């Protein structure tokens, strides 16, 4: 049963990382420490597991179950846990949903099925969400991909989903077009039954939040949750000067985390946590591979510019 039954997806929601040993097995001790570190940040709304940031595509179902168990043990009493549903088939997605609810999840983040890259219809999207909704009473968050990927939901499809699947309570909006992003914020949050828009446009987070998002759900929260929470509060308080000041600190990290190739974003975040002394190693599972020393150097410089890493501490780690 969910530990936070009244949870509504909104506010600042970091998506945590998943540390591995050198042999690619899950480093449970480091994962527990990472969870506690992120959850210690004030004014978070929830955390997310079994998503892009935890390399869910490379994790077995048993590993996903274990990730949820550990998260529940470490932070489940303090914060709601959002569990990602990564599945190409709707029946498997429903099985994951049932297991996540039984494990104590408070909401589900539904990734679009990969076959949608070959084409989708509104009926396909509705069938996928209805099967998941029939399997669980948990609030659903629809992950809205860019339309160019083929996995994003056109406006008409999104409206039907929200009309016909009432347990969809939010979308995680990865829409890269500002006009479409703003249109979705206005349309969804202005509905008779409002549906929150959670920004995941972390490369331009201030701009996205100013448009009126009711939250953010981002893997970079694994590193900068405090800055994100403070930025969100500043925007909500219409304190533009403070928001700009915080954004100036966030921007160097966004530049390095979301550089090309985009797929390495969480790889880079792991390296950042190593530089900050919060992870012992930055191992990713293939097909991802370790980034270059030059890129790690750019991450170090960004952390210093963001006032997250002291220059002397950085030099000391290099010497060690």
Q: What is the DSSP string of 206-270?
A: HHHHHTT-SEEEETTHHHHHHHHHHHHHHHHTT-HHHHHHHHHHHHHHHHHHTPSSGGGHHHHHH
| In the predicted structure, residue 119 carries a pLDDT above the cut 70 | yes
pLDDT band at 312 (very low <50, low <70, confident <90, very high): low
Please say whether the beta carbons of 66 and 59 come within 8 A: no
The reported pLDDT for the residue numbered 1 is 67
| In the predicted structure, residue 263 carries a pLDDT above the cut 90 | yes
At 196, phi and psi to the nearest 5? -70, 140
| In the predicted structure, residue 42 carries a pLDDT above the cut 70 | yes
DSSP-based three-state secondary structure for 181: helix
Percent of the chain surpassing pLDDT 70: 97
Mean pLDDT of 73-91: 97
Write the CB contacts of 218 (distance below 8 Å, at least 6 apart in sequence).
13, 14, 15, 199, 200, 202, 205, 228
- Kindly report the pTM of this predicted structure: 0.96
The reported pLDDT for the residue numbered 311 is 74
CATH class of 11-238: alpha beta
Angle, helix 265-275 to helix 293-305, in steps of 10 degrees: 70
The domain spans of the chain are: 11-238
Write the CB contacts of 248 (distance below 8 Å, at least 6 apart in sequence).
none
The reported pLDDT for the residue numbered 285 is 98
Mean pLDDT of 48-59: 98
Give, as one character, the DSSP assignment of residue 26. B
Neighbours of 228 (CB within 10 A): 24
| In the predicted structure, residue 318 carries a pLDDT above the cut 60 | no
| In the predicted structure, residue 314 carries a pLDDT above the cut 80 | no
| In the predicted structure, residue 294 carries a pLDDT above the cut 60 | yes
Tokens of 62: 């048993």
Burial class for 284, CB neighbours closer than 10 Å (0-12, 13-18, 19+): buried
The reported pLDDT for the residue numbered 4 is 87
pLDDT tens, position by position, 232-254: 999 999 999 999 999 999 999 99
pLDDT tens, position by position, 145-203: 999 999 999 999 999 999 999 999 999 999 999 999 999 999 999 999 999 999 999 99
Contacts 24+ apart (CB under 8 A), 201-205: 201/173, 201/174, 201/175, 201/176, 202/254, 202/257, 202/258, 203/254, 203/258, 204/254, 205/231, 205/247, 205/250, 205/254
Alpha carbon 131 to chain centroid distance? 23
Alpha carbon 313 to chain centroid distance? 29
């Amino acid at each position: 049963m969910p530990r936070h039954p009244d949870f509504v997806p909104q506010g600042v929601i970091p998506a945590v990382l998943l540390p591995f040993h050198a042999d690619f097995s899950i480093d449970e001790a480091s994962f527990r420490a990472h969870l506690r570190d992120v959850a210690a940040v004030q004014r978070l709304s929830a955390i997310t597991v079994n998503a892009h940031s935890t390399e869910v595509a490379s994790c077995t179902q048993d590993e996903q179950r274990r990730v949820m168990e550990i998260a529940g043990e470490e932070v489940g009493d303090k914060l709601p846990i959002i569990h990602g549903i990564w599945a190409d088939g709707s029946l498997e997605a429903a099985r994951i949903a049932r297991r996540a609810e039984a494990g104590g999840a408070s909401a589900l983040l539904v990734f679009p099925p990969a076959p949608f890259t070959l084409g989708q219809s509104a009926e396909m999207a509705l069938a996928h969400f209805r099967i998941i909704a029939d399997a669980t009473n948990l609030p659903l968050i629809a992950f809205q991909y860019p339309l160019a990927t083929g996995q994003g939901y056109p406006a008409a499809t999104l409206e039907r989903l929200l009309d016909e699947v009432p347990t969809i309570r939010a979308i995680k909006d990865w829409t890269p077009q500002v006009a479409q992003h703003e249109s979705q914020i206005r349309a969804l949050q202005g509905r008779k039954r409002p549906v929150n828009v959670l920004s995941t446009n972390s490369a331009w987070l201030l701009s996205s939040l100013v448009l009126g998002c009711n939250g953010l759900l981002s893997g970079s929260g694994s590193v900068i949750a405090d800055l994100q929470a403070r930025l969100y509060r500043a925007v909500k308080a219409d304190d533009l000067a403070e928001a700009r000041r915080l954004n100036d600190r966030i921007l160097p990290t966004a530049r390095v985390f979301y550089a090309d190739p985009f797929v390495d974003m969480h790889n880079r975040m792991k390296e950042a946590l190593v530089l900050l002394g919060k992870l012992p190693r930055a191992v990713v599972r293939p097909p991802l591979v370790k980034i270059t020393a030059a890129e790690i150097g750019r991450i170090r410089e960004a952390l210093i510019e963001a006032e997250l890493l002291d220059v002397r501490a950085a030099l000391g780690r290099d010497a060690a």
